[in-house]
Each structure stands twice: as C-alpha cells, then as structure tokens.
Amino acid sequence: MVFSSYTFLFLFLPLVLVLYYVLPLIAPKRWAQRVRDWRGLVLLLSSYVFYGWARYWYVLLILASTLVDLVCGRLIVDAGTRRKKRALLLVSLLTNLGMLGYFKYRDFAVDAFVQSLGALGLDVSDPGWPRLVLPVGISFYTFQSMSYTIDVYRGVVSPLPWKRSLHFISYVALFPQLVAGPIVRFRDIATELVDRRHSWSLFGQGAFFFMVGMAKKVLIANRVGPMADALFGLEAPGALDSWAGMVSYALQIYFDFSGYSDMAIGLGMMFGFHFPWNFNAPYKATSITDFWRRWHISLSTWLRDYLYIPLGGNRSGRWKTYRNLMITMLLGGLWHGAAWTFVLWGAFHGALLALERGLGKRPIYHRWPTAVRVGATFTLVLLAWVLFRAPDLAHAGRVYAGLFGAHGWGGFSLRGPFSWRVPAGVLACGLLLAWLAPTTQQMAARGGWGRVVVVLVLFAVAVVELLQSAFNPFLYYQF
C-alpha cells in the first residue's frame, strides 16, 4: 500500500484516524482497565496491516528484527561485563545486517561470483535460484531498529522496560514512515511514544504537509518520470535528449522522495509525532558537502553518527579522513541497491566530498558567484544521478556518451506524442520550484489562508490526476 493510492486515501487512513481518536472515547470502562493505551494499540495494529498489505510474510521479518533488538537492548543494560554487552550488540547487528544482506545482496553476490568464474574461463552456468523479492522498507526499518541497540550500548538512551515493549514494537513499524523514511531514531520520539500531545493546530499542519507532498509526487514527479524512463530506453541518445532526460530524473527523484517525506512527516503530526526533516532544498546547494547537508538528511546523519565517526571521522589525519569519507559513501551507495552502479555512485560522491574536504569543505569553484556555484553543483549531482538511475553500466555509458555529445545534438524525442512545449514547460516549472520556491517547512511556518487554499486546490487536482494515471509507486518503495 502506498500513500498515493485510493485505498490509502479513502479507506485505510480515514478508518485509522477514526479508530485512533474515537475509540478511546467510546470504549467501555471495563476494556479501559485492560488496555491503557488505546491509541498506541491502534497505531501498532494498523501499522502491521499496512506493512503486510502486499505480502503478509513481510510482517514476520520486521517482527523478528524488532524482537531481537528489543531483547538485546534490555539485556545490554543488565549485562555484567563489557564483553557481554558487545556480544549482545553483535547479535543485534548480525541479525539486522544479515537479514538486509540476504534479501538485498544475495542475487548480486551470486551474479558477481558467476561472472568472475566466467572471466577466468570456467564454464559456470547460472545456479537457477529464484530471484528474491526485496521486502518493502527493509533498508529503513533495519537501520532504525539497529540504531536503538547501538544507542543503548553507548548509553545515549535508556532501554524501555519490558512492560512497555509494545511502544518499541510500534516505533519500528510506524506506518507513516515505515516504507521510505525518514529514518527516525528511537531517541527522537522516545517521549512521544509514551505520552504525546494532540491538537487541531498540529493536525492541521500535518494535513498541510501531507497535501504538499501529494502534489509534489503526483503533479511533478509522475509527470517528468516518463521522460527519464524513455532516455534509458534509447540506444544512442543525443545531447538534447540526454540532458533533458537527466534533468527529468533529477526532478523526479527529488519531488518523489521529498514528497513522500513530507507526507510521512505530515502523517506523523496527525498522530502527535514530530519526525525529523529529511530535505532542505538540496538543489540550492553550493557544494557537494552542502548537498549532503540537505539531501536525505536522516540517512546522511545516520551514516555520519554510526559509520563515519566510529571509523575515526576526521580525528586521525587528512588521509584517513579521506578514507573514512570514501568508505562511508561506498557503503551508502551499496545501501541504496545491490549493483555496481550504486557502488560507483557512492564512490563519485565520496571522491567529491574528499576533494572538498581537502579544500576546507569548499568546492574548487568556491570563488564563483552563488548562482553559478548552485548550477555547477547541480551539474555534478546530475552526472552522478546517471549511475544511480541506470540499470547497468552499459546503459550508464550510453547516457554519458550522449551527455558529452558523442551521438550528436539529436532531437527532443522524449516528448512522446506531445508538443515539445509541454515537457519543456514541466521541466522549467520543476527547476524553478527546486531552485526558487520555499521549502514545505518554510511554507507551513509562514501560514496564511492564501497558501492553504492553493495547497487544497493542488491536492484536489492531484487526487483527480490519480484517476487518470497508471499506478506509480514511490521510487524508494523497495530500496
């Protein structure tokens, strides 16, 4: 189930909201003595229904990860020696990373093994194993759950007592941000899991975020996505098609992912939670370092705190800092997907971050005017997106060749049956919004009935658009 579906909008969400707010008021008193937290129970059960909607056995995976971390977190505190604490932490890490590694990287490892034997001249046929279906959201909830035991081990948070186990189970499975983040750490919402406040003001702000996110996804991301898909179907794309297609993808992934994050944050507010921001106008960045302060913030800070800093961060000299940056970004690339394209995407960003670190966290073009620095950074990000989007290195090579004119200027074939003015107008509108428009947070903070009316109209148009468009899940739906 995805947010941009009629099942979610007109069946699941209204039903959950009614149960969440009304059931505690009408429940018989004899029930209230047995169930003290009706709202928490509604959230827990609805989250598992949401997650198991597509494949019910997914629930067993998330429950296994949750129970292991719940038990390990509690036992770490009770362990008498540091050695036992480390052993319990290792159980948590191996369980989560083992699940993630098996489902996400088994096919990649088998393919790489077969190809390497073939390169050595050995005639090895494909083992014929069925390809694994990646469980929805596994990359997110394993990181989220695992951060709890790490923080307990570090003494950053106190583990929940056994009698509050349902709060932790609910935390890992919260449906507003379960599928594609933001990655919410336990310490961010530990208090709200037990006692959170609800108000019409917070609910209204959440609805505003949700509607903005829906408009981003349906009216922009879904519009430009077909042009990006068409580009990677061309054998010899010209320069015009290559640049138009990659700008399309840059806009698609930004408005798609930031739209989901807005919707998740908005849903959290509707239920009394405050999730961390995940995007801060990343295409306004003036350097790659600045870009990673603005893009997928919950992931970049997670990698910083649980990988980069434990590796040594910038505390062990210049060259080890560069090494730590490269390792972090390589693993960050591999987290996104089991393919060499993702590894190279991480390496590309890691090399640029290391270069800027050597220049004092500034790009080589730091003396250029701000607008030009923004354009240069966007171009570098665009070149990296080729690897991120390409299904394999061969497709990436064809697009790079097109970007640098190897196939000539070409025409604008990505427009499909439309006049070139339609897709060109959509791309121009998307770029203007990405570069000049305020963020969702800024719009919500400024308020005003005019903005509310505009967002309501855009949301209504987006809902109508769902009737006319094919099903289009979020890009991060199965990362």
Is there a contact between 59 and 173 (Cβ–Cβ < 8 Å)? no
Burial degree of 291 (CB within 10 A; 0-12, 13-18, 19+): buried
pLDDT tens digits, 304-334: 999 999 998 888 888 889 999 999 999 999 8
Range from 94-103, 119-128, 269-278 that averages highest in pLDDT = 269-278
According to the model, what pLDDT value does residue 89 have?
93
Computed over every residue of the chain, the mean pLDDT equals 87
Alpha-carbon Rg for the chain, nearest whole angstrom, is 23
Q: By C-alpha distance, which of 42, 195, 206, 68 is closest to 141?
A: 68
Distance from the first to the final alpha carbon of the chain: 15
- Measured CA to CA, the distance from residue 373 to residue 365 in angstroms comes to 7
Residue 287 DSSP code: S
Catalytic sites, residue numbers: 336
User: By three-state DSSP, how is residue 257 classified?
Assistant: helix
Per-residue pLDDT at 292 exceeds 70: yes
Q: What is the pTM of this model?
A: 0.91
Spans of all domains in the chain: 6-28+36-198, 202-478
Percent of the chain with pLDDT over 90: 49
According to the model, what pLDDT value does residue 251 have?
95
Residue 405 DSSP code: T
pLDDT tens digits, 398-423: 999 999 988 888 777 776 656 667 77
Confidence class for position 385, pLDDT limits 50, 70, 90? very high
According to the model, what pLDDT value does residue 295 have?
95
According to the model, what pLDDT value does residue 2 have?
82
